[in-house]
Amino acid sequence: MISDEQKLAAVIAYFEENESTYQIAKRLQIDRHYIRLWIELYRYHDIEGIIRPQGYTNYEDSFKIKVIQHLIETGDSLLQTAAKFNIPSRETVRRWKKQWMSKAGEVLYQVEKECQSMPKKHTLRPI
């Protein structure tokens, strides 16, 4: 597991030492997308985006909806969206989107099913 100090050192290496995300990822032996996320978190939230309180963060449903709406409306990537909203993982955003899409699909299915089961109204026309 990478410590917050290592994350911050990686971001500093990127900005101040002009080390590439590829070089940093290779040195830390992790996937490059983590480095890119840390860089974006730092851009949007400074050191608070990197140094985080320990423990689990419980997000309100209204916040999750705001994040998914932003993702859909702007076309930002999962990584960009996670960084803008100071979410430590793009996978969290991906999971929320998947849950939202699943629920939206269920609602559409129910509406369609109700429409099909409703009897058609016959209106009488004057002669």
Residue 122: the pLDDT is: 53
Chain segment 17-69, per-residue pLDDT in tens = 999 999 999 999 999 999 999 999 999 999 999 988 777 788 998 899 899 99
Residue 116: the pLDDT is: 60
Chain segment 62-118, per-residue pLDDT in tens = 899 899 999 989 999 999 999 999 998 899 999 999 888 887 656 555 656 566 655
Q: Count of CB atoms within 10 A of residue 115's CB? A: 8
Identify the DSSP state of 85: T
CA distance 82 to 25: 19
Residue 112: the pLDDT is: 62
**What length is written for the chain?**
127
CA distance 39 to 34: 9
